[in-house]
Amino acid sequence: MIRKLKSGEYRLYSRKADPKSGKRRNLGTFTTRVAAQKHERAVQYFKRHG
């Protein structure tokens, strides 16, 4: 899940909330939405092939 920050950057969050904190885990901050989407695809790949 990608959200735009006030600073203009994009942050990738986990789809499910972290059970310990109750919030979504930060999976990285990127300057462009395209970069965040590319990393999100990589994360999904490694979830299944890691």
Tell me, what's the pLDDT at 44? 94
Tell me, what's the pLDDT at 50? 77
CA dihedral defined by 4, 28, 15, 10, rounded to 10 degrees? Answer: 10
Tell me, what's the pLDDT at 30? 98
Tell me, what's the pLDDT at 22? 96
And the tokens for 41? 């695809």
Q: What is the pLDDT along the chain (50 residues), one digit of tens a residue?
A: 999 999 999 999 999 999 999 999 999 999 999 999 999 999 999 999 97
